[in-house]
Amino acid sequence: MKKFFALSLSISILITATLTSVALTPHGNGVLVRNWLYNDTNYTFSDGYKTSVWYHNFSQLELTENHRNNVLRIAISQLGYHEGKMGDYSGADTASSDNCTEYARIYSKNYNDYCFDWCATFVNWCLNQAHVDYAYGEMSCHRWIEDFFVPEDLYRDGKAYGGTYIPKPADIIFFDWDKTGGWSDHIGFVLYTTDTHVYTIEGNTSDNVGLKSYALSDAQVMGYGTPKYKESTEVTFDYSPSNDFVVGDYIVTDNSFNLYYEADVTSQSEKIPLGAMISCDSRSDGWIHIKYNGVSGYTQSTAMFLLQPAEIEYAETTAPVTTQAPETENNTESATTEDNPQTETEATVNTETEDIATESHETNVDSESDAVSTYDTIFDSNDSRVNDSNPTESISGTDNQHTDNRGCGSTLSVGALGVIGIGAAFIYGKKRKE
């Protein structure tokens, strides 16, 4: 009987170890930042950032087994963060254009007082917080291509340059504002792709973390890189539009968002700040029931973007899933057609709704598409350039730091606890028998 109890205990330990491996803690705040020569291994969040809604959003996240989901959730949690002045990394200074950000503080040596063009820095920060190993921690956009993605065969050209690769969620997208394909000026993350457009989330776009859209054939879209993501049977979120309401957490994307205590515009209300995380659990007659900071109420605003659905879906297979390098253009071409260019091998789940989206800022739609859905207009179009006062990111003094030394992180196998438990049960049972 005791032998059976010991064996049961060991199995429980194994199950517990397996479950706890799903939930991880985001990096930062005293946890070592890893992988890259110029990253600060003693990085902690600044006091200003820790007072912000963006820190609150980040601190509420628990990482799962799917790297792509983790990267995009972290990036989306920062929507609305604005660059500040030197010493102010709170993200709340909407009047500043000094390029000072919390994300730059991940670099050591206090480079340029943490004030420099920060699109690549934002990508670096999100990858690091998502525990993505072997990504390339760079300030320079183009060196990501030259020093990491091309040598690792992880880079694919954009459609304007003969490429046929269809980007996937959390791929890194590279831009060349000169439309020559010669040097990348800007990067961001892919959210999703349609037949004609790619939708992104980017740092340092109009001085913010914001949402954008581009025609796949736009010559500004230079190409795509795929970090060495580890994936699992957890389904990758699909942020493309759906007619179904999605229960989950959303990020407020406008500073005039109202929470009404009753489903009536004449009832008492309060403002919810830009960037705040809210929970949406139902929709009826045009009203969405939301919860924010311990308060329940209603809204009719569409100025919100899905952060994460309430439930995570898993594929049926139990076989391990790993991310492969981007398909070669010949393979991609044979696997897709012009009529249906979005054929993909990885599973996705629709998690966005056409009625719940960010405020429209798009003023022009590429002529490639005769009809673009209403949802497309929630993203800033590619006509709104990065940094209104400085449309291209510097490739000189403040944008040329790079490293040739890419380290690797280590992973602790929590399943070892279960093995230890089984071994203990075996020894205990044998000893009792003797």
Per-residue model confidence (pLDDT) at position 129: 87
Per-residue model confidence (pLDDT) at position 327: 66
Contact 346, 322 (CB under 8 A): no
Pairing of strands 257-260, 348-350: unpaired
Contact 6, 431 (CB under 8 A): no
Structure tokens that stand for 125 in this block: 């920060």
Cα–Cα distances in Å, from 350 out to 68, 236, 243, 303?
15, 9, 9, 19
Give the residue carrying structure tokens 């659905």.
309
Q: Tell me the whole-structure pTM to 2 decimals.
A: 0.73
Give the residue from 240, 194, 199 showing the smallest Cα distance to 371: 194
Q: What is residue 423's three-state secondary structure?
A: helix
Per-residue model confidence (pLDDT) at position 55: 93
Mean pLDDT, each 10-residue run in order, the chain (434 residues): 48 37 48 52 85 93 92 97 95 93 82 88 89 69 88 95 97 96 95 97 96 98 93 88 88 94 94 96 95 95 94 72 59 38 40 38 33 44 44 33 28 34 42 42
**Which alpha helices (DSSP H) does 77-227 contain, by range?**
119-129, 141-144
Q: Where is 258: in which H helix or E strand?
A: strand 257-260
Q: What is the DSSP string of 314-364?
A: B-S--S---PPPPPPHHHHHHH--SS-TT--SS-EEE--BTTBBPPP----
Cα–Cα distances in Å, from 242 out to 177, 239, 361, 384?
32, 9, 20, 26
CB 191: neighbour CB atoms within 10 A?
28
Pairing of strands 236-238, 221-225: unpaired
Give the residue carrying structure tokens 């032998």.
3
